[in-house]
Structure 1
Amino acid sequence: MDSLMPRRQVLRTFALAATGAAVLGNAACGGGSSPSGADDKEFTYWSMWQDGEPSAVVLKAAIEQFTKDTGIKVNVQWKGRKVVDQIAPTLNTHNVPADLIDSQDRFVKATLFGTKQGLNLNSVYDLQIPGEGKKVADVIPAKYRDFATADGQAWLVPYQVLAEQIWYDGAALPGVTASPPKTWDEFVTLLGQRKAARGGGGPLALDGDIGDYNAFWTYHVILRDLGPGAFSAAATDKKGAKFDDPRMLAAVSKIEQLVKGGYFIKGYNGSKWPAIQQKWAGGQADFLLLGTFVPSETKSAAKAGFQYRSFPFPSGAAGDTSQEISLVGFAIPAKAKHASAAQKFIAYFLNSSRLAGMSSTANNLTPRTDIAVPAVLADAKKTLDQARTVPALDGVKMDQAEWYIKVFTPTNNEFLAGKLTAAAFLAKLKNTTADYWKVNG
């Protein structure tokens, strides 16, 4: 599977990476922007992919051609999703083992940029892409460059874009394709119709044992009712007072409505991933809120004739229609010994003929607008083209990782499981957030 979304092991990875970042922060030196070793003939690349995964296949082909075209040898190691966890303890030493890594944005930002152990990649965006006569900055839209830039420094060069959507089978629900729900009220009306059609069975699929999957529901209602930045502001409120906002209660009460109303499929809160999403693909539920990896991850369980369609999370009180995204891309440790060669490879890989494999072979969205989009992701791409983009989970997993893991996730899991009312959920978050900042603020 070429899936990126965090499960238990990846949540653990992120927790460890965040811890490593905190340790490194005190001793970190500032990241540079001018690589040494301009004549380097090799570099070491640690990848988040496992050998044989579709994305790894695409990268491996590009690496082989890069060596043929440039004479630069790439010592690639397919580390898997724990790549950041593995490199974090070395970043402040004189023996950083990799000159290039790739990972999801939140891991890179917390562990490299957040500790000043990542190279400023502004100069990479100025490099010419071999064979195109364009610079990297010319082919990466500004919204993605801005996303991966902080304090004037680029900390990531993306090659994949992920976005959360509500997925459904267009063959089974042509009416939804013709007129997808745009508001929360329209969505709830549709859910009621589908619940009745299913004889009272819940139309929403959710693997409730995955904290991030639960968080997508709660975060989206907050985003739609309070706007971008509200969730992050609440996470960093040292007194927890923002959880007293009446708009916050109105927002999360929508999730309580779904839980108490039986809109989630039976067994969702006692399932083990991927049981429920497989049931969804098999037609036992109608809707699934997850990322653009869904078609790749569920195709083996999909019933015959399944047509992957999606629509953005319905708007709420604030009228917000933002599309949350996350990026996968390249980063370079500040103390990389062969940074120049690594930068050359980044520019080389961003050539449309090579990056296109991330769409055609790995079935993912890329940041380039001139690369064909997989048919199963056409709806998501349309949303991305039209909507304002915001960081997944309001950037909280990048910037407030420990709060998210220790405070929000366990409480939200209780809420989605029906163990807390909306009011009790917010009251608990307020208290635990205040306690957290007393110790960490």
Structure 2
Amino acid sequence: MNGFLPRRQVLRTVAAVTVAGALGLGAAACGGGSTGEASNELVYWSMWKAGEPQAKVLESAIASFTKETGVKVKVEWKGRDVSKQLAPTLNTRNVPADLVDSADRFVKSTFVATGQGLDLSPVYDMEIPGETGKKVSDVIDPKYREYATSEGKAWLVPYEVLAEQIWYDGNALKDVAAAPPKTWDDFVSLLDSRKSARGDGPLALDADIADYSAFWTYHAILRDLGPGAFGAAATDATGAKFDDPAFVTAVRKIEQLVKGGYFVKGYDGSKFPAVQQKWAGGGADFLLLGTFAPSETKPSAKEGFAYRSFPFPEGAKGEQTQEISLIGFAIPAKARNAEAAKRFVAYFMNKERLSKIASETDNITPRADIEVPAVLADVKKTLDTARTHPALDGVKMDHTDWYTKVFQPVNTELITGKVSAADFVAKLKSTSVDFWKLNG
């Protein structure tokens, strides 16, 4: 087996993460790792750092898990690069972790593409301790399970849902709260009004963060061409999909924002988080960012700041969609204590324990029966009504090298006014063709 992806793609990804060899999830689960026997210990590597809100929630759950089951959990707070640290060990006989949590894109590129992750479908079939008769699959919204499944194999059990929206202070912009802009024309009209009132651009952006700059261009493309279009263009070795007139038309919207002075002064020379903090202090009106925006900017927020948000405006497709990403658990195929790891995952999905991700970290969980934090109420409304799809059209997960080496550099040039929309598309096409010649 080659896991979830075609052999050509597997080999590319393996090279990227420096993991030699590729074993399918099913084969790896049977041929190595856990014996299926019960274990009284496990090693857990986490993406959080000690002291972070999520780490505190998990630490509390670990303590009660050990008390109730007798299973000892050695947790190591590795930080955001946890998957990169684990990747080189996955094809060895000494995989150091039995359980890991990380963002979906890192799990997919590290575990799924290399065939080094355990199929977590059995976890979804487990009963949740403390909730008699309820399985993990019963409480996780089906759209999130589908998102985290490839070729019938579940590669992630999510405990946190992220989504990107345009944020603003509802107390300062009551008219926006009453009637958020729905179309691009509505949005630009609002920006014109706010620019006139401020005497400066109303949009906040730290353009030195390539991901944040990418959000603008990517959203414009997907609203005009629909979900899947960005990913299709990214993987077109001929570059022909960039010739679609709709592509450059969508990108011209971003050129319009740049040339029109809609971004706050200094955004193109900022050092994160300077502009983001300026926005929270009232120095700009709108910030396109994930659902971590409130918790991340709260220390800089002016008194009385009311976090509100609306989805990126509709485009030519006339459809409101919502980009999402997930944070959750994965288990290495060669984990020594996979059964104990599965037990902890099911244990943590208990409503009482998982609800702390909402109440204590201000994030959305995949359980519909857990109340969403007030600061994310607008996001939840969109998630309940709009069609959802992977953030950045899945490109960041499935084609990381193209995204970072091809798209991000030329997009930063676009967002900072160094190239026009037409030049951006032409350059993206030519560099993509060159990239796939070397990596196809």
TM-score (norm 2): 0.95
Within 5 Å, which residues of 2 pair with 1:344-355? 344-355=343-354
Tell me how far 1:241 sits from its aligned partner. Answer: 1.4
Amino acid at match of 2:166: I
- In 2, Cα distance between equivalents of 1:22 and 1:270: 32
Partner of 1:63: 62
> Residue 418 in 1 paired to residue 417 in 2?
yes
**Residue number in structure 2 paired with 1:129:** 128
Q: Show the counterpart of 1:246.
A: 245
1:330 alignment partner, SS class: strand
Query: Which secondary structure state, in structure 1, belongs to the residue aligned with residue 221 of structure 2?
Result: helix
Cα offsets for 1:350-401 (capped at 9, x unmatched): 0000001101111111000111111000001111111111000000001010
Post-superposition Cα deviations, 1:278-318, rounded to whole Å, max 9, x if no partner, equal: 00001111000000000000011111110000000000101
Three-state SS of the structure 2 residue aligned to 1:131 is coil
Q: Secondary structure at the match of 1:101?
A: strand
> Does structure 1 conserve the Cα–Cα contact (< 8 Å) formed by 2:239 and 2:433?
yes
Q: Structure 1 residue 20: deviation in Å? A: 5.6
Q: Which residue of 2 aligns with 1:140?
A: 140
2:183 counterpart of 1:183:
yes
Runs of 5+ consecutive residues of structure 1 not aligned to the other structure = 1-16
RMSD: 1.2
Aligned partners of 2:104 and 2:397 also within 8 Å:
yes
2:98 is the alignment partner of 1:104: no
Residue matched to 1:308: 307
Q: How does 1:364-375 map to 2 (within 5 A)?
A: 364-375=363-374
Moved over 4 A (4+): 17-22
* Secondary structure in 2 matching 1:356: helix
Maintained 8 Å contact 1:205/1:277? yes
**Counterpart position of 1:4:** none
Q: What is the rounded CA distance, in whole Å, between the counterparts of 1:159 and 1:121 in structure 2?
A: 14
One-letter code aligned to 1:211: A
Paired amino acid for 2:56: V
Q: Which secondary structure state, in structure 2, belongs to the residue aligned with residue 310 of structure 1?
A: strand
Contact 1:21 1:112 in 2 (8 A): no
Choose from 23, 46, 61 the match for 1:29.
23
Distance 1:249 1:39 in 2: 57
Counterpart of 1:84? 83
1 CA distance for matches of 2:372 and 2:101?
Answer: 22
Q: CA deviation at 1:28?
A: 1.7
Residue 119 of structure 1 aligns to a residue whose secondary structure is coil
Structure 2, unpaired ranges of 5+: 1-11
Q: Residue 39 of structure 1: CA displacement? A: 1.5
Contact kept in structure 2, 1:20 and 1:88, CA below 8 Å:
no
> What are the Cα deviations for residues 124-155 of structure 1, in whole angstroms up to 9, with x where unaligned?
00000001020000000110000000011000
Instruction: State how far apart, in whole Å, the 2-side matches of 1:404 and 1:96 are.
Output: 29
* 2:360 counterpart of 1:361: yes
- Is it true that 1:53 corresponds to 2:57 in the alignment? no
Aligned residues: 423
Please state how far the C-alpha of 1:21 moved relative to its aligned partner. 5.0
Residue 232 of structure 1 is matched in structure 2 by 231
Alpha-carbon contact 1:20-1:89 (below 8 Å) kept: no
Deviation at 1:31, TM superposition (A): 1.5
Q: CA deviation at 1:166?
A: 0.3
Q: CA 1:20–1:354 in structure 2 vs 1: closer, same or farther (change >3 Å)?
A: farther
| Partner in structure 2 of residue 280 of structure 1 | 279
Q: Secondary structure at the match of 2:231?
A: helix
1:144-223 correspondence runs (5 A)? 144-199=144-199, 201-223=200-222
The answer to whether the 8 A contact 1:96-1:335 is kept is yes
SS of corresponding position for 2:395: helix
Cα pair 1:21 1:88 within 8 Å, conserved: no
Q: CA–CA distance in 2 between the matches of 1:233 and 1:397? A: 13
- Show the counterpart of 1:431: 430
In 2, the alpha carbon distance for the partners of 1:372 and 1:286 equals 28
CA–CA distance in structure 1, aligned partners of residues 15 and 402 of structure 2: 15
Q: Deviations over 1:401-424 (max 9, x none)?
A: 000010000000010000000000
Alignment match, 1:73: 72
Q: Counterpart of 2:21 in structure 1: which amino acid?
A: A
Between the aligned partners of 1:39 and 1:123, the Cα distance in structure 2 is: 15
Aligned to 1:389: 388
Shift of 1:36: 2.5
Partner secondary structure for residue 113 of structure 2: helix
Q: Is the 8 A contact 1:223 1:320 kept in 2?
A: no
Question: What's the counterpart of residue 7 of structure 2?
Answer: none
Aligned equivalents of 2:152, 2:319: Cα separation in 1: 28
Q: Does 1:335 align with 2:334?
A: yes
Which residue of structure 2 lines up, in the alignment, with residue 401 of structure 1? 400
Report SS of the residue matched to 2:168.
strand
Q: Is the 8 A contact 1:162 1:326 kept in 2?
A: yes
Compared with structure 1, are the counterparts of its residues 140 and 110 closer, same or farther at alpha carbon in structure 2 (3 Å cutoff)?
same
Partner residue of 1:113? 112
Letter in 2 for 1:403: W
Shift of 1:22: 5.0
Q: What is the identity, as a one-letter code, of the residue corresponding to 1:246?
A: P
Q: How much does 1:29 deviate?
A: 1.5
Note the C-alpha offset of 1:319.
1.2
Q: Are the counterparts in 2 of residues 118 and 155 from structure 1 also a CA contact under 8 Å?
A: yes
Q: Secondary structure at the match of 1:164?
A: strand
Query: What is the distance in 1 between the residues matched to 2:16 and 2:221?
Result: 28
Conservation of the 8 A alpha-carbon contact between 2:17 and 2:87:
no
* CA drift at 1:321: 1.1
> Tell me, what secondary structure is at the counterpart of 1:115?
coil
Amino acid in structure 2 at the alignment position of 1:48: M
